[in-house]
Amino acid sequence: MAKLGTIARSGFLRNPNEGMRLIITTIFGVVLGFFIGTSFPTVSITKLHFPSSIISFIEDKNSGITTQALLNHAWTSSHKNNSMLYSNGTAKIYVPSNPKGTERLAPGIVVPESDFYLRRLWGDPNEDLQIRQKYLVTFTVGLDQKKNINAAVKKFSGNFTIMLFHYDGRTSEWDEFEWSKQAIHVSARKQTKWWYAKRFLHPDIVARYEYIFIWDEDLGVEHFNAEEYIKLVKKHGLEISQPGLDPNRGLTWEMTKRRGDSEVHKATEERPGWCSDPHLPPCAAFVEIMAPVFSRNAWRCVWHMIQNDLVHGWGLDFALRKCVEPAHEKIGVVDTQWVVHQVVPSLGNQGKAENGRAPWEGVRERCRKEWGMFQTRLADAEKAYYKKMGITPPNDTHV
Ligand SMILES: *[C@@H]1O[C@H](CO)[C@@H](O)[C@H](O)[C@H]1NC(C)=O
Ligand SMILES: *[C@@H]1O[C@H](CO)[C@@H](O)[C@H](O)[C@H]1NC(C)=O
Ligand SMILES: *[C@@H]1O[C@H](CO)[C@@H](O)[C@H](O)[C@H]1NC(C)=O
Ligand SMILES: *[C@@H]1O[C@H](CO)[C@@H](O)[C@H](O)[C@H]1NC(C)=O
């Protein structure tokens, strides 16, 4: 009781007269705001028109503090932002700094980014999430590789959101694994990981995640731990990286081979004549597309470079360096957390047998063709830019 009395005594509205005075003061403020607004060209317009029914509703509830705070806030923010009111007392919201197309919304209600956190259908939304994962790992999978993927997922801690892109349409079979029930499953038949990435990993959708792993399904992860990997990537400032590949398995570039004598490496030597510049691919600023890891910022750039129709992503590895500066310092290979490329024929076999050729042949041919198309597009785009700006292109744009 004593407490209530104190609140009443120190309340903003001691009697109805004072309430009236508050409204009049506020209206004066609003009118003043209007004149201030009209005398400066405006950028944002704050809605200040309060239907009298709302005001009386608030008054009826006798919550003078709320009324005052509300009106006061409206007045000060319009005052600060030079907002404009129409003379009839109405105003429209227009906030140019909002994301394109949302200028008519009050900034407070605009949510430009999202995440993949699973929520409950019941309870308090504030209490839905026990953990907000900071990292995202995606695998493009067919059920045939479930053993391998199950082993891989176990190398990623609870700090990772797991996302599977299913190219064979089989999704529910994965539920034999407990983790699958917490994973995000996206199913679209016979598509490649860059197709999925372009469509489901928009930078605003994955903005919550500090690092994004976009991995193939045929990686052996016995010598890999994701938390340790993140630590090294942070320590060495790698914006784009991959784990080293077992040098004894399959054909790989020198750059992506695991080394026994370092934590990470950012440069290498290739066969004579392969590198025009030691700072350029494939000698530096280079990782392959089978197991890349992107920082949030690097991904925002790389996502924009992915072409909707060039689904195999060939050539992308040579162009990743366009997204970070200086590329030869921010792109690298982690040696102490490494993987084995098992070279399992998978999606390649999902091609189409044509003219007496095996399915994989047509896929391979398309990969090569896409690579050429990508290079041409990139070169043309840069040429057009430099021409438009009237400047001479730097020497390294031919790679
Ligand atoms: C007005 O400016 C203040 C401080 O600069 C800002 O916090 C507020 O969001 C702005 N209001 C609008 C409607 O833009
Ligand atoms: C108030 O004035 C503006 C600008 O003249 C006009 O666009 C708007 O329709 C008016 N609103 C009402 C409710 O009359
Ligand atoms: C998850 O991240 C937190 C904060 O960085 C860290 O303390 C914790 O050890 C991580 N969890 C695991 C399983 O590594
Ligand atoms: C560009 O490369 C050519 C051939 O490699 C070289 O002769 C020329 O000096 C280079 N130009 C600049 C601006 O570095």
Q: CA-to-CA distance for 13 and 186, rounded, in angstroms?
A: 57
CATH class of domain segment(s) 135-385? alpha beta
Identify which ligand lies nearest to the alpha carbon of 98: 1
* pLDDT at residue 19 is higher than 50: no
Q: Is 39's C-beta closer than 6 angstroms to any atom of ligand 2?
A: no
Ligand 1 atom closest to residue 78's alpha carbon, by position in its atom list: 1
Q: How high is the pLDDT of residue 285?
A: 95
Q: How high is the pLDDT of residue 83?
A: 52
Answer with the residue of higher pLDDT: 395 or 76. 395
Lowest mean per-residue pLDDT among 27-41, 141-155, 171-185 = 27-41
Burial 9-44 (b: 16+ CB within 10 A, else e): eeeebeeeeebeebbeebeebbeebbebbeeeebeb
Answer with the residue of higher pLDDT: 69 or 127. 127
Q: Between the CA of residue 359 and those of 83, 227, 229, 315, 372, what are the distances in Å?
A: 64, 38, 36, 22, 21
3-state class (DSSP) for residue 167: coil
Q: CA-to-CA distance for 320 and 327, rounded, in angstroms?
A: 8
Q: Is 51's C-beta closer than 6 angstroms to any atom of ligand 2?
A: no
268 within 8 A of 284, measured Cβ to Cβ: yes
The protein residue with its alpha carbon nearest to ligand 3, atom 1, reads: 159
* Omega within 30 of 0 (cis) for the link into 282: yes
Segment 259-318, tens digit of pLDDT: 999 999 999 999 898 998 999 999 999 999 999 999 999 999 999 999 999 999 999 999
- Does the pTM of the predicted model rise above 0.85? no
Closest CA to 34 of 103, 99, 88: 88
Closest CA to 216 of 232, 196, 200, 236: 196
Q: How high is the pLDDT of residue 352?
A: 78
Q: What percent of the chain has pLDDT over 90?
A: 66
H helical segments located in the chain? 2-10, 16-39, 52-60, 64-81, 146-153, 193-200, 226-235, 296-305, 316-319, 327-330, 359-389
Segment 83-120, tens digit of pLDDT: 556 677 777 899 999 999 999 999 999 999 999 999 99
Q: How high is the pLDDT of residue 3?
A: 42
The protein residue with its alpha carbon nearest to ligand 1, atom 8, reads: 77
Q: CA-to-CA distance for 326 and 399, rounded, in angstroms?
A: 16
Element spanning 264, H or E? strand 264-265
Lowest mean per-residue pLDDT among 80-89, 252-261, 269-278, 384-393 = 80-89
Among 80, 93, 94, 98, which is best to mutate for testing ligand 1, by the most ligand atoms less than 8 A from CB? 80
Q: What is the mean pLDDT of residues 362-375?
A: 94
Q: Is 355's C-beta closer than 6 angstroms to any atom of ligand 2?
A: no
Q: Is 276's C-beta closer than 6 angstroms to any atom of ligand 2?
A: no
- Cα–ligand 3 centroid distance for 215 (angstroms): 22
Q: What is the mean pLDDT of residues 330-345?
A: 92
Answer with the residue of higher pLDDT: 187 or 29. 187
Q: What is the mean pLDDT of residues 225-237?
A: 98
Q: How high is the pLDDT of residue 100?
A: 95
Q: How high is the pLDDT of residue 250?
A: 75
Ligand 3 atom closest to residue 134's alpha carbon, by position in its atom list: 2
Q: How high is the pLDDT of residue 24?
A: 45
* Token pair belonging to 345: 């024929």
Ligand 1 atom closest to residue 46's alpha carbon, by position in its atom list: 13
- CB within 8 A of 57, min separation 6: which ones? none
Confidence tier at 63 by pLDDT (50, 70, 90): very low
Answer with the residue of higher pLDDT: 115 or 42. 115
Q: How high is the pLDDT of residue 26?
A: 44
- Cα–ligand 2 centroid distance for 97 (angstroms): 24
**CA torsion, points 203, 206, 212, 216, in degrees to nearest 10?**
-90
* pLDDT at residue 6 is higher than 50: no
- CB within 8 A of 205, min separation 6: which ones? 113, 114, 115, 116
Q: Is 90's C-beta closer than 6 angstroms to any atom of ligand 2?
A: yes
Confidence tier at 320 by pLDDT (50, 70, 90): very high
How many Å is the maximal CA-CA distance in the chain? 93
List pocket residues of ligand 3, CB cut-off 6 Å. Answer: 157-159, 227
Q: CA-to-CA distance for 77 and 79, rounded, in angstroms?
A: 5
Q: Is 274's C-beta closer than 6 angstroms to any atom of ligand 2?
A: no
Q: What is the mean pLDDT of residues 44-58?
A: 46
Among 77, 84, 93, 98, which is best to mutate for testing ligand 1, by the most ligand atoms less than 8 A from CB? 77
Identify which ligand lies nearest to the alpha carbon of 49: 2
Q: How high is the pLDDT of residue 52?
A: 55
- Cα–ligand 2 centroid distance for 47 (angstroms): 12
CATH 3.90.550 placement within the chain: 135-385
Q: How high is the pLDDT of residue 249?
A: 82
Amino acid symbol at 280: L
203 within 8 A of 238, measured Cβ to Cβ: no
Confidence tier at 358 by pLDDT (50, 70, 90): confident
Q: What is the mean pLDDT of residues 187-204?
A: 97
Q: How high is the pLDDT of residue 42?
A: 38
Q: How high is the pLDDT of residue 360?
A: 85
Amino acid symbol at 167: Y
If one counts every other C-beta atom within 10 angstroms of the C-beta of residue 242, the result is 26
Ligand 2 atom closest to residue 90's alpha carbon, by position in its atom list: 1
The protein residue with its alpha carbon nearest to ligand 3, atom 6, reads: 159
Angle in degrees, CA 69, 70, 71, rounded to 5: 95
Confidence tier at 354 by pLDDT (50, 70, 90): confident
